[in-house]
Structure 1
């Protein structure tokens, strides 16, 4: 179960990043160029937040079955001083929850706005902030602090 969830979580990460980049590009373009907010823009907003929420569910499932998290929770006083264990037991999950909240707020706010420019502006700002939080909290393969493979096999 753990290895399947880990591979799935790793795969969905790329869908989250791609959909967020698309949504952000459309939002900034629409806002800066004064474009009309279309149903395609709305579908991208909904799909992006949906993929992010699916990733959240996969991540929470992974959190529940992870041996790293189990060690972190059972040996908190020691584990909190171990960089890699602390990252997965506390930092990663906290930052990603914050990022999902930011994306959800941005999506909900944009949904309620009637002015096209303000819709794009809201999406551009909130989704960009969410993306920055996500990018700072992914254990990239090139990170000197904590690294994991960019792609995990099933």
Structure 2
């Protein structure tokens, strides 16, 4: 059986969603790796990509996620209200994710360039373009999980 490009993409999306569903169900019965930032490195890229793919497919938001990606595009800072450094990363699955890093609460990543690898831990918010990751910093009030970005062995929080 030969699959054309569209059918192959659908098949891969279904596989990713099924895997993410399995991971979600499994996480309900055992501790999740995304609960604490110290265990993020133990979570595989495939697992984190599947969790994000599932959140995107199901329009989920307010979800703490971790992972890594490659900087695809640097965007101008958002200076309306709280200032945010913005850029788009591409996950190994091919999905893109907008990073909105609050530079009023965390240090700006001045050395960031397109093509760089970056690790993240923050809150996923659904949008039609792939999603937004924010809360990549500590909460000064201590009410929200502390997120971070890691670039070239330096953590920005």
In the superposition, the TM-score normalised over structure 1's length comes to 0.28
Task: Point out the structure with max Rg over C-alpha.
Answer: 1
In the superposition, the TM-score normalised over structure 2's length comes to 0.28
More strand by share: 2
